[in-house]
Amino acid sequence: MFSERIKQLRRSFGINQVEFAKKLSVTKQSVCNWENGNIQPSIDMLERIARTFSVSTDWLLGLSERITVDVSGLSDVQIAHVQSIIDDIRE
């Protein structure tokens, strides 16, 4: 599950394995191994990956299907706009 989700996220952000590795200060080989399911990242690295993609570690690990949007720092009006956009997309 993790290997599929990390690959999906990386691609959706439009970055290749080398670019992603640079963001995390790891080798391309590490990213490749994660995506192929050969190894799992450390807990610290898992947290860094989750922060990079703004997802929860539970979602990355397949323990949750819920994806959240961080709206911290936005005003109530801005949050209402974001919710309106989400509602429109769902329709």
Q: What is the chain's pLDDT, residue by residue, as a tens digit (91 residues)?
A: 899 999 999 999 999 999 999 999 999 999 999 999 999 999 999 999 998 888 889 999 989 887 777 788 999 999 999 999 989 999 8
User: Under CATH, to which class is 2-60 assigned?
Assistant: mainly alpha
Which residues does 10 contact at the CB level (< 8 Å), separation at least 6? 16, 17, 20, 31, 35
Q: Spell out the domain ranges in the chain.
A: 2-60
SS3 state at 65: coil
